[in-house]
Amino acid sequence: MDFELTEDQRAFANTARQFAQTALAPHAANWDAEAIFPREAIAQAGELGFCGLYAPENAGGLALPRLDATLIFEEMAAVDPSTTAFITIHNMATWMLGTWATDVVRAEWGEALTSGQKLASYALTEPGAGSDAASLKTRAELVGHEYVINGAKAFISGAGSTDVLVLMARTGEAASGSAGISAFAVPANLPGISYGKKEEKMGWNSQPTRVINFDNVRIPANHLLGHEGEGFKIAMKGLDGGRINIATCSVGAAQGALTQAQQYMQERKQFGKAIASFQALQFKLADMATELVAARQMVRLAASKLDAGAPDASTYCAMAKRFATDAGFMVCNEALQLHGGYGYLRDFPLERLVRDARVHQILEGTNEIMRVIIARRMLEGDAPEAIR
């Protein structure tokens, strides 16, 4: 068991850090304040390969291990969790299309997405189907050589500003549950697709979030991803990686917050000395660092399990998502506290990191659902020995 990064992994991380400092850090606060979706910066990330990190090579991706991808996402999230989170969602959707699309669709969209010239949204959640994703009602009916799609999706990141939707829709009977769900690649500007207002959110303001409505939207039958009835399986495979991604964004945000707090403690003076000299605050910093390192190692363990195709990879992904997003938010919040009143001002990045990190405990499956997934596995007879 080797916890040290390879030279290649360190190079990936250093490249991502340099990109984050030059392309994201100077603009992140303005993108947040003005709710600007930075397509140009995302395209620059694509030039470095960051928009197709683990997409297959035949779609123009780098086909990197998920572990290597976490190193890149963490560095970017340390300065801009919101934009980085969208890039991780784009990576997930691009990987799904690149892996399961027909040759025709892959040729049309693969390299455009992995290069960052075109962007993808992932459309699973519905107004009435959040944690219970298998109850989704958006329907795709095969009519001749086309699928006709009707329904609605909600809380879709990038909606209205992206170019293709990786969509989950029901092709089976209404009572078919997860077995009746299929996946599709849907161009985002087709007739019959309409977008709701841009949601006003607590955080994640550099990426738009909208409802999407589908009214007799027609797509060629070859836009099906995989086979009919495989959509829920594809969605869950995507979400294993998505949970690692969003956990990594929390680790990155926490690292950025910890760095800010450590520096501020050296500079801020009260009662004639730096606040770093107060043991109560030293202990707070120690706990923040310990939680952060534990979260990072759990995320990397889960990524390694997913890369290895381990049978319990989904459980480890759920554990990493639950722990890292809780710990990451705690670290950001404590860093704000250490800044006192200054942490509450937009002149400092802490309040933005806190707002952006909070939603990580909700999406890609709420942390309550993560506990359900973990508990189900832990109640199986071999779990105490298998999950260690």
Distance of CA 109 to the CA centre of its chain: 21
Residue type, 10: R
Q: What whole-number distance in Å separates Cα of residue 184 and Cα of residue 344?
A: 43
Q: What whole-number distance in Å separates Cα of residue 126 and Cα of residue 170?
A: 12
Kindly name the residue from 364, 368, 380, 385 that is annotated as catalytic.
364
Evaluate whether 192 touches 215 at the Cβ level (below 8 Å): yes
| Alpha-carbon torsion, ordered 331, 337, 339, 342, to 10 deg | 120
Q: What whole-number distance in Å separates Cα of residue 165 and Cα of residue 381?
A: 40
**Residue 74 annotated in active site:** no
| Residue 110: C-alpha distances to residues 72, 94, 216 (Å) | 21, 7, 26
Active site (catalytic) residues? 364
